[in-house]
Structure 1
Amino acid sequence: MTATDRRQFPALSRKPGDDHMTEIRIEREIRLPDDLRTARARSAPHLGPRVLFFSGGSALNGISRQLKHYTYNSIHLITPFDSGGSSQILREVFDMPAVGDLRSRLMALADESVLGQPDIYALFSHRLSRSAPQAELRAELDAMIGGRHPLMAAVTKPMRGLIQARLRSFAAQVPDGFDYRNASIGNLILAGGYLDEGRALEPVLFLMTKMVDVRGTVRAVVDANLQLGVDLADGRRILSQRLISGKEAPPIDSPVTRCFLSDGSQEITPAQVPLPKRNRRLIDRSDVICYPPGSLYSSVVANLLPAGVGRAIAARHVPKVYLPSLGRDPEAPGQSLADRVAAILAPLHADIREEVPARRLMTHVLCDSSVSPSDCAEVTERFGIPCHRLPLQKAAEPDRYDAQAVAEALISLA
């Protein structure tokens, strides 16, 4: 399959006396997949393209594991607004952003070969029992802090000391009655590091990246402890990601009309949650921008709400692709493919505050060939965005993407 990629670049010369650069439009045809580009990336992944994702949850982890064979430079801006599982317990106890999705993506991008740090990877991926008594679970954590636990003992110095220090900080500040059931050790290490670093995520994410040799960049889209909220077509308002996702509550049965951020009691404006400059720079340097599969609102749209995201995306002249989820999304009942495109574009247009063509924000939709031609045609009719049907579905699991096929398609766009 071929697709047309339109970009604008400054011209190489000015007219005499003209202080303004002229912009020219360049078009190129892209073959998906492009065997030459993918082979070149696979042979030198350290020079691979900067494919940037706005995501959360676990839907992208399989693709991320495959992508690291082609590039060590992928960028993952992750939502820290998860309010379920062990992340929520840490949020409530320490008033901190959710770290579970960040840890999960770090592990997906870690070097899992013998040349990496398999012992640290095993420790960070370990979870405490769901059913053991609390005293037994706390004793297991204490054994890790003391270096007596087999998983900790397997980690070599000086990394072992750094990890123990993070767990020690967590244990020193955790209140009595903390629920350790099914707690992720990686999350507890991140929480201890967050407290050690003056309640900042960036330093501890950087350290964990180095510890497990992460093949990419993983950051929270913003470093803030906020809740996600949605307004529904039936007039209801829902606050909290876990109530929106349908994982820990009945799935929503009315279409979402708007998505917003909240301090837990009331809506806050995007201007109160600006995109950090360090993340703006990542967008400015990206070679491909991807709105990936995952829960539409809590994993994708949530990352597009901070002020500055829409403007940064619009300013970058690179392929900007939407890869919609396969199967049913509990967060998007009754929504067509075009409706989901509209949901992604809405906060971006709101941030720009002026009329811009939709293709400034999304240049292509890539979907599996199982998506009907009429659904694709509706996207193009409503937004002028070409929609390409490709064989991307996993043969044995029709609700999942073939990770290698998706990785090669994204690399081909760069």
Structure 2
Amino acid sequence: MPTLRIDRDIQIPDSLRVARARSAPQFGPRVLFFSGGSALNGISRRLKRLTHNSVHLVTPFDSGGSSRILREAFDMPAVGDLRSRLMALADESVLGQPEIYALFTHRLPAAGDATELRHEVMRLRSGVHPLLAAIAPPMQQLIRAELSAFFDRVPDRFDYRNASIGNLIIAGGYLARGRGLEQALFMMSKMVDVRGTVRALVDDTLHMGVELADGRRILSQRLLSGKESPPIDSPVIRLFLTDGTAELPPAQVPLPERNHALIVGADVICYPPGSLYSSVAVNLVPAGVGRSVAGRTVAKVYLPALGNDPEAFGHDLSDQIDALLRPLRQDAGEDLPAVRFLTHVLCDVSVPAATCAEASERHGIPVIRLPLARGDGLKYDPETVAEILVSLG
């Protein structure tokens, strides 16, 4: 069985730690993730069986999909990834709130008549829609109040196609609470009994931007991901935050104190699989993140994405590690060794041994190859990764 050295030798997975966590997940370790996107959701669903104390600092800078429609309508942070992670961590047992979960995960058709789609949301607001009628008071009244707050402010020409009802409810809560995202997320987490903590990295209405090696600058996540535009054909060399027109220095986007406290209280810090820049590295840009991470003496692990990541064009494993270290060092100090921010890289055995050895030598970090992928080799096996992360705590 492989071992890792943090400040002690750790077996991975550690069967005793895993068994203890499984029997009492309410006392499980505080595994903290810097993440966005959906790549971590499968792992999150398994992890909640082992710990109810995981922490998810999620990027609110997404500018694609249905989040883009809400952002344009209300000038608000992106909430789609936040809602998705809340649902991944929700109590899905019969003791949870299955009717509320069904409502929050309901999505309107991607194609349909605009009037009919708006009418369906109005039926939800009035409580006559079956998804709302199934929810008992007073929770039903609370959800209807959130939807009313949304309707009171929504533009007449709002595009409801493919809209997530959960996103609309969060938007209503955000608007009803003086544009306070934290309060809206807290309310939703209580409604579905979330087994962990999910917070936006910052509450600001911002976007991510990158500079490419060929000199181009891209000021929107959706123009980088390759999902709504051609994939980039030049490597990213720099990452920054923007108000949509101009670059903002990190000092203008400080990490909230409440999120700093979560980092310094973590038992494990994980840079999880996902799109390299828009899902992971962008969370490391705000002022204070690098210093908070560097101050912890816990396991800090990176799980590189499996398969092709369009955002990592021209990057080998060492370059991907550089993409994480660059914003962290910019905040905490350029001369700090990599191990202050990242103690281990865990790679699937599909990654060539020579690639891992080169990355380890270049950064002075152990890069360990393990059988982590599921059968198709395109995604991590969620049970294996969850057990390893709990073992590190």
TM-score bracket for this pair, using the shorter chain length = over 0.9
Match of 2:129 in 1: 149
Match of 1:137 in 2: 117
Q: Which whole-Å CA distance do the structure 1 matches of 2:16 and 2:333 have between them?
A: 40
Deviations 1:41-78 (A, max 9, x none): 00000000000000000000000001001000000000
Kept in 2: contact 1:68–1:215 (CA 8 A): yes
Match of 1:123 in 2: 103
**Alignment partner of 1:295 out of 275, 288, 312:** 275
**Alignment partner of 2:237 out of 254, 257, 275:** 257
Kept in 1: contact 2:4–2:12 (CA 8 A): no
Q: Which whole-Å CA distance do the structure 2 matches of 1:4 and 1:216 have between them?
A: 26
Match of 2:381 in 1: 402
Match of 1:4 in 2: 4
Kept in 1: contact 2:25–2:49 (CA 8 A): yes
Deviations 1:238-275 (A, max 9, x none): 11000011110000011100000000001000000000
**Which structure has the larger Rg?**
1
Residue 218 in structure 1 maps to residue 202 in structure 2 = no
Amino acid at match of 1:3: T
Match of 2:367 in 1: 387
Deviations 1:310-347 (A, max 9, x none): 00000011000000000110001121111100100000
**Alignment partner of 1:109 out of 89, 98, 117:** 89
Q: Which whole-Å CA distance do the structure 2 matches of 1:297 and 1:194 have between them?
A: 26
Kept in 2: contact 1:326–1:398 (CA 8 A): yes
Kept in 2: contact 1:2–1:29 (CA 8 A): no
Deviations 1:213-256 (A, max 9, x none): 00000000000111111001111111100001111000001110
Q: Which whole-Å CA distance do the structure 1 matches of 2:116 and 2:392 have between them?
A: 51
Amino acid at match of 2:239: C
Q: Which whole-Å CA distance do the structure 2 matches of 1:370 and 1:2 have between them?
A: 17
Match of 2:176 in 1: 196
**Alignment partner of 2:35 out of 55, 71, 91:** 55
Number of aligned residue pairs: give it: 393
Deviations 1:126-185 (A, max 9, x none): 011111211101111111111100000001111101100000010110011110111100
Match of 2:74 in 1: 94
Amino acid at match of 1:45: P
Amino acid at match of 1:267: E
3-state SS, counterpart of residue 214 of structure 1? coil
Kept in 1: contact 2:269–2:301 (CA 8 A): yes
3-state SS, counterpart of residue 38 of structure 1? helix
**Alignment partner of 1:275 out of 255, 261, 271:** 255
Match of 1:80 in 2: 60
Cα offset, 1:355, TM superposition: 1.4
Cα offset, 1:354, TM superposition: 4.6
Residue 348 in structure 1 maps to residue 328 in structure 2 = yes
Superposition CA RMSD, Å = 0.8
Q: Which whole-Å CA distance do the structure 1 matches of 2:269 and 2:293 have between them?
A: 8
Q: Which whole-Å CA distance do the structure 1 matches of 2:207 and 2:129 have between them?
A: 36
How much identity, in percent, do the aligned residues show?
A: 66
TM-score, normalization: structure 1?
0.94
- Structure 2 runs not aligned, ≥5 long: none
Residue 412 in structure 1 maps to residue 383 in structure 2 = no
Match of 1:10 in 2: none
Match of 1:304 in 2: 284
TM-score, normalization: structure 2?
0.99
Amino acid at match of 2:256: P
Q: Which whole-Å CA distance do the structure 1 matches of 2:37 and 2:329 have between them?
A: 25
Deviations 1:198-224 (A, max 9, x none): 101111111101000000000000001
Match of 1:70 in 2: 50
Cα offset, 1:2, TM superposition: 3.1
Kept in 1: contact 2:44–2:88 (CA 8 A): yes
Q: Which whole-Å CA distance do the structure 2 matches of 1:359 and 1:110 have between them?
A: 34
Kept in 2: contact 1:79–1:302 (CA 8 A): yes
3-state SS, counterpart of residue 239 of structure 2? strand
Q: Which whole-Å CA distance do the structure 1 matches of 2:283 and 2:71 have between them?
A: 18
Q: Which whole-Å CA distance do the structure 2 matches of 1:354 and 1:62 have between them?
A: 35
- Structure 1 runs not aligned, ≥5 long: 7-26
3-state SS, counterpart of residue 341 of structure 1? helix
Amino acid at match of 2:154: V
